[in-house]
Amino acid sequence: MSGRKVALITGITGQDGSYLSEFLLDQGYEVHGIIRRTSTFNTDRIDHIYIDPHSPDAKLFLHYGDLTDGTTLRRILEEVKPVEIYNLGAQSHVRVSFDSPEYTVDSVAMGALRILEAVRDYQQRTGIEVRFYQAGSSEMFGKVIEVPQKETTPFYPRSPYSCAKVYAHWQTINYRESYDLFACNGILFNHESPRRGETFVTRKITRAVARIVEGTQKKLYLGNLDSKRDWGYAKDYVKAMWMMLQQEQPDDYVVATGETYEIKEFLDIAFSHVNLDWHDYVAFDPRYLRPAEVDLLIGDPTKAKQKLGWSPSVTFEELVKLMVNADLINLNLPTPDGSQREDNTLNRRNFATIVD
């Protein structure tokens, strides 16, 4: 591997992209991110680490592009000359993927293929190794075949999103074996944080708790409360992505806590943290049901622990409380345990400098 520390991230404006950028900048990387052109800025999660690119201190650079636009992806690759690529970009909402299956598959499955093709050509032409990380998902396991789920558990995807992720997973392996690319799949179980998108169930709950305390929300409408998820802390999980690309050989890894909880247990901790009973506030709305559900996810992170030396640092209860606290702080409300802001991205906009 060359000594240059230049990374390219798709999905840099997302939850994981923002934590990974912080982590890589701390490791001394020059970080480049692909962002989509939008009519209003959507860079809130990375504004706090962005410095005007005209400054000699700038280490984070943004490029307009889209996973559905292969030409631009190739051009950015040629320009940036990264030694590591993290493919985190995706239409990542499982329920939405049933509404927009074509777009989801284009960005998730074809997007990964477009980057792999670009890397293959670039590496063949220049002889420079580019290490590639594919953001795979526990959703690929889908219908329960084996518990806990590990690298060898067969996939049974149950949504357009997870079918697309399975495609990207196997193409990553195919390119590794066919063209000798250093390409890794992370099979990451659910990971959450105060930066989690507001329509995923954990953040939807913690945001509602804060608004109920504030008095601006009366009810929280949810779908299926019986599914179980293996929830970890996003900051821990982005470190595992980087660790995979630092190994001698490329490989695929499950990243998980090894514990699973029902949505109801998340609700219990979140509401009781502010001395409320969720049964008084939660109502059912069938709109949030999926045509096919993934009932039980629980991962076996043994391989990541043994080979990468990775382990999660935040327990389920800590995760729920830190998310509730962050949403209370966002609304300038006191936290029950007196904790202060852990996250410096929210409620902050710095868009005067963000892009030309």
- Minimum Å gap between C-beta 258 and ligand GDD is 14
Indicate the pairing of strand 228-229 with strand 261-262.
antiparallel
Q: Which entry of 161, 237, 253, 281 is annotated as an active-site residue?
A: 161
Task: CB nearer to ligand NAP: give 59 or 229.
Answer: 229
Active site residue 50: no
Which of 17, 157 has the CB closer to ligand NAP? 17
Q: Is 253 a catalytic residue?
A: no
Q: Which does 227 bind (CB under 5 to 8 A by kind): ligand NAP, ligand GDD, none?
A: ligand GDD
Q: Which helix (H) or strand (E) holds 118?
A: helix 111-126
Task: Note whether 47 binds ligand NAP by CB under 6 A.
Answer: no
Q: Is the peptide bond before 157 cis (omega within 30 degrees of 0)?
A: no
Residue 157 Cβ vs ligand GDD, minimum distance, rounded to whole Å? 11
137 is catalytic: yes
- Does position 135 interact with ligand NAP (CB under 6 A)? The reply is yes
Query: Interface with ligand NAP includes 17 (CB under 6 A)?
Result: yes
**Residue 341 identity (one-letter amino acid):** R
66 is an interface residue for ligand NAP by CB under 6 A? yes
Rounded Cα distance between 114 and 34, Å, is 14
By a kind-dependent CB cut-off of 5 to 8 A, residue 74 interacts, out of ligand NAP, ligand GDD, none, with none
Shorter beta-carbon distance to ligand GDD: residue 175 or 189: 189
- Among ligand GDD, ligand NAP, none, residue 89 binds (CB under 5-8 Å by kind): ligand NAP
Q: What mask of x and - would describe binding to ligand NAP in positions 184 to 223, judged by CB under 6 A?
A: ----x-xx-----x--------------------------
Site for ligand NAP contains 11 (CB under 6 A)? yes
CA dist., res. 23 & res. 25, Å (int):
6
The dihedral sign for the CA sequence 256, 161, 244, 24: negative
Neighbours of 12 (CB within 10 A): 26
Q: Which residue of the set 21, 139, 167, 261 is catalytic?
A: 139
Which residue from 203, 205, 181, 312 is spatially nearest to 259, judged by alpha carbons? 312
Closest CA to 85 of 168, 186, 7: 7
Structural contact between residues 108 and 168, judged by C-beta atoms closer than 8 angstroms = yes
- Minimum CB separation of residue 102 from ligand NAP in Å reads 12
Subset of residues 91 to 120 that bind ligand NAP, contact rule: CB under 6 A: 91-92, 107
In the chain, the N- to C-terminal Cα span, in Å, equals: 33
- Look up residue 336 and give its DSSP letter: T
CA distance 356 to 354: 7
d(CA 131, CA 119): 9
Tell me the closest approach of the beta carbon of residue 188 to ligand GDD, in angstroms: 7
Contact 324, 339 (CB under 8 A): no
Q: How far is the CB of 276 from ligand NAP (least distance, A)?
A: 26
Which residues contact ligand NAP (rule: CB under 6 A)? 10-17, 34, 36, 42, 66-68, 88-92, 107, 135, 137, 188, 190-191, 197
By annotation, the residues acting in catalysis are 137, 139, 161
